[in-house]
Structure 1
């Protein structure tokens, strides 16, 4: 079984935020912050803190600057737009407001009284989350707002096998021998994934243990910058390699036993899984981005789990009936 490192960015405490940013967030919240506890887990660099306000209310604040990571502010801006449009019945925290001075972007959400699932995964907690993923797809079908189609949004990034092939990096990317020999075939297998994964469900598209909270009332899914319109099973497929890499069960058994998995097109699942494995493994071979020291090892663990799952499906001719080269 693959073992993934902790999902962790470089956190900044609330007190280290520039004074104008703290003032701006307090203006959004309508009260001064009198206490803050930094939250661990998750890749976003910058601030991630549960705060207590002078009037007794609580909130969750996340903030990042372009100086910490040039990409993260854009993700926060997208998350603000997406969170504002999620319906009231969605199992997601309510956005209270946003601060944006062009360099720093901060988001304030309602504080959810919950915790992340244990890692390594525990059977009962995973069962709760799997039920929650099914409910998420039900509530968000049809999509409550016009997010981009999954193939359009992720097409330029979900081409890892082709990138490795075109750049001649397949032998230097740390791939297992079978993948090195068959990068071109894997690229062709993955190429039409976008059509198979399309649909009218609003997918979170980044479900991991650190983006999930278990509460007394149910499961809450946080961090929504990557939302896309996709097939109902897309979130389940993206989540399971990470679950496996963090001590969870066989993803093929979980997927086949889940209502969303049973209703999915087998070939579409196989092709989408192929592109996911290529995305993770190609990105894992890149230098670490600023403020995210554990991202590449985490991606490698997910990629290894996805590739192992793909090989299971390729051996199952009901999932993919065409010839597979020298599959061990």
Structure 2
């Protein structure tokens, strides 16, 4: 009788590899990924998105290391790619593939290797954002998803051994990009900054289309799409209070189950533009202090993957 390991090995070795090159966009978080997924990669004149976030979680993220079988996503992707016209670029886009930035993304290398085991000849697109802006956005997302720690507590939280926490080292983007380059080849890696997407969507799309091998030029006028609204800094203290009363991803069981009160406070927190939030501390100042003189070496290394000068976009590259 075969063991589970023998069965896994035999299946993996005989499963079909995807017959065509795929574009993988593994993040990073808070870099315009939702816009790309909902507006650009959903445009079936050019692309065909193969998996949604739920599929990615089920096939690539959720399986335990001792159970992961690359044959399963390989077979499902092969089936989904089969009817895709040759004129379209198959895409796999999910920021979850770079790990959860709010809890340290400690599985990011594991996920890179899983992707390579399934799609060894893929092209890899990373989107990035200057570290202070992304760090600030990450905290706002944390509060939005139910977190109750103040900024200084969140960034400096000393979790018990074996438990996850935010890790500022995740914002040294070049480390994970280098890992992908070692797996897929330097020539198959492109890094584009979110700031370029905001300032010159046409140029951003032209670089993306050329790299992906899209047949045709980006649509004239680009794309319009809504972006998720982050809570204002002024409402952070109220939002953290709201998180006491309602079920959230970070707190499935609220401290005090009063969901109507939680929803009311949350709604009010989004209307407090322009007012100070002294109880939370100055988020911008905290972020600037945390990022000061920290990412210059990383950004200089990252520049070799990016055809756009990062310096005027707010990336520290000082020597």
Considering the TM-score relative to the shorter chain, is it more than 0.5? no
The structure with the largest helix share of the pair is 2
TM-score, scaled relative to structure 2: 0.27
TM-score, scaled relative to structure 1: 0.26
Q: State which structure, 1 or 2, has the greater radius of gyration over its C-alpha atoms.
A: 2
